[in-house]
């Protein structure tokens, strides 16, 4: 079977970096068509720089990396240097990128790529705020019918929020964009904090990554080691939650996850609950189900998959 074509929209970020490396390692199964960068964890200039640093590390200077939207729809950008460091990719000492940015704006790249492939073949992996995608939907509504599905890291149910008491970062940064994406009629798989907070990089799991003994293994161990410093302070858990790679793992091994198809609606007005993903878990409202929400993960199986795949880079 031909590898599945995917686009990755991203705001690297240590966990984005691991997700991108996992996708590039799974070249027998996934065909990464390009990376589109968005402002999120750090400003756009740094996310676009970091995406290219990761491609250089993976030996993929050929991959199109496009810069996209530098702020959310209708509000100021909120970043997360306190989690990811000033560079957004603190931890390993990754050199400045050798590869240039692709000349196309990320929104144009998304539109042009989706129009170039047969309808229903390209999957979009969204790892940051959904600004690029929502902007593309507004500029070219026809592309909503061309996507196979969207697999996004974002949202939270019982896990509650990580940037406010009820909101997860990617959704909170641009709730308007998230609302547009969830209402667009495209099949959506949501990977919320309820799952990613079970995918913790414990010292043993980090040691297994470092034991790969490769530049990628060392870099991923350093990336997740830095990312961890924030997690125990806030959540008292051992190890960093490896959010974004769970999206790629779902593509590769959906059997590692449990899911339910429900309605998810985003709060876009209230200052108190802005960005909250209201999940109608029991079908109480009259809102039609629009999202396949993952709610459990085989964490050991996930880390075995991650370590085995990264060993091939």
Positions marked active-site: 243
Q: Which does 90 bind (CB under 5 to 8 A by kind): ligand RIB, Ca ion, none?
A: none
| Contact predicate 39/70, CB 8 Å | yes
Residues 44 and 32: their CA atoms lie apart, in Å, by: 21
Residue 34 sits in the site that holds Ca ion (CB under 5 A): no
From 34, 40, 85, 97, residue interacting with ligand RIB (rule: CB under 6 A)? 40
Q: Which does 169 bind (CB under 5 to 8 A by kind): ligand RIB, Ca ion, none?
A: ligand RIB
* CA 26 to chain centroid: 16
Structure-token match 């960093």, residue found: 240
| 3-state class (DSSP) for residue 16 | helix
From 162, 273, 290, 292, residue interacting with ligand RIB (rule: CB under 6 A)? 162
| Contact predicate 266/157, CB 8 Å | no
Q: Which is nearer to ligand RIB, 173 or 186 (CB)?
A: 173
Question: Where do the H-state alpha helices sit in the chain?
Answer: 14-25, 44-57, 81-84, 106-116, 131-139, 169-173, 175-182, 193-196, 203-210, 215-228, 230-235, 245-252, 299-310
Shortest distance, CB of residue 79 to ligand RIB, whole angstroms? Answer: 10
Shortest distance, CB of residue 15 to Ca ion, whole angstroms? Answer: 6
**How far, CA to CA in Å, does 54 sit from each of 18, 24, 63, 281?**
9, 10, 11, 37
Residue 11 sits in the site that holds ligand RIB (CB under 6 A): yes
Which region among 4-12, 29-37, 208-216, 278-286 touches Ca ion (by CB under 5 A)? 4-12
Which region among 52-60, 163-171, 211-219, 267-275 touches ligand RIB (by CB under 6 A)? 163-171
Q: Which is nearer to ligand RIB, 127 or 276 (CB)?
A: 127
Closest C-alpha among 214, 170, 176 to residue 15: 170
Which region among 7-15, 31-39, 67-75, 270-278 touches ligand RIB (by CB under 6 A)? 7-15
Residues near ligand RIB, by CB under 6 A: 11, 13, 15-16, 40-41, 127-128, 153, 162, 168-170, 243-244
Residues near Ca ion, by CB under 5 A: 11, 13, 16, 127-128, 244
């Amino acid at each position: 079977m031909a590898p599945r074509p995917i686009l990755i929209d991203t705001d690297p970020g240590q966990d984005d970096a691991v997700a991108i490396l996992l996708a590039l390692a799974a070249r027998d199964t996934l065909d990464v068509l390009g990376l589109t960068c968005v402002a999120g964890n750090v400003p756009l200039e740094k996310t676009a720089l970091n995406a290219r640093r990761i491609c250089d590390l993976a030996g993929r200077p050929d991959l199109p990396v496009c810069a996209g939207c530098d702020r959310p729809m209708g509000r100021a950008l909120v970043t997360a240097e306190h989690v990811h460091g000033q560079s957004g990719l603190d931890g390993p000492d990754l050199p400045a990128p050798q590869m240039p940015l692709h000349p196309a704006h990320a929104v144009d790249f998304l539109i042009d790529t989706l129009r170039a492939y047969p309808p229903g073949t390209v999957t979009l992996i969204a790892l940051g705020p959904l600004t690029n995608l929502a902007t593309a939907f507004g500029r070219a509504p026809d592309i909503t019918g061309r996507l196979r599905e969207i697999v996004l890291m974002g949202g939270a149910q019982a896990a509650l929020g990580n940037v406010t008491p009820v909101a997860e970062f990617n959704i909170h940064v641009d709730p308007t964009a998230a609302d547009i994406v969830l209402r667009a009629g495209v099949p959506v798989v949501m990977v919320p904090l309820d799952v990613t907070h079970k995918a913790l990089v414990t010292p043993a799991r980090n040691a297994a990554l470092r034991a790969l003994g490769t530049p990628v293994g060392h870099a991923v161990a350093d990336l997740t080691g830095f990312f961890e410093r924030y997690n125990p302070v806030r959540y008292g858990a051992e190890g960093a939650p490896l959010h974004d790679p769970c999206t790629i793992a779902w593509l590769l091994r959906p059997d590692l996850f449990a899911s339910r198809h429900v309605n998810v609606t985003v709060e876009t007005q209230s200052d108190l609950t802005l960005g909250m993903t209201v999940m109608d878990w029991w079908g109480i409202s009259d809102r039609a189900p629009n999202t396949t929400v993952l709610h459990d993960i085989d964490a050991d199986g996930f880390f075995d998959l991650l370590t085995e795949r990264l060993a091939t880079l």
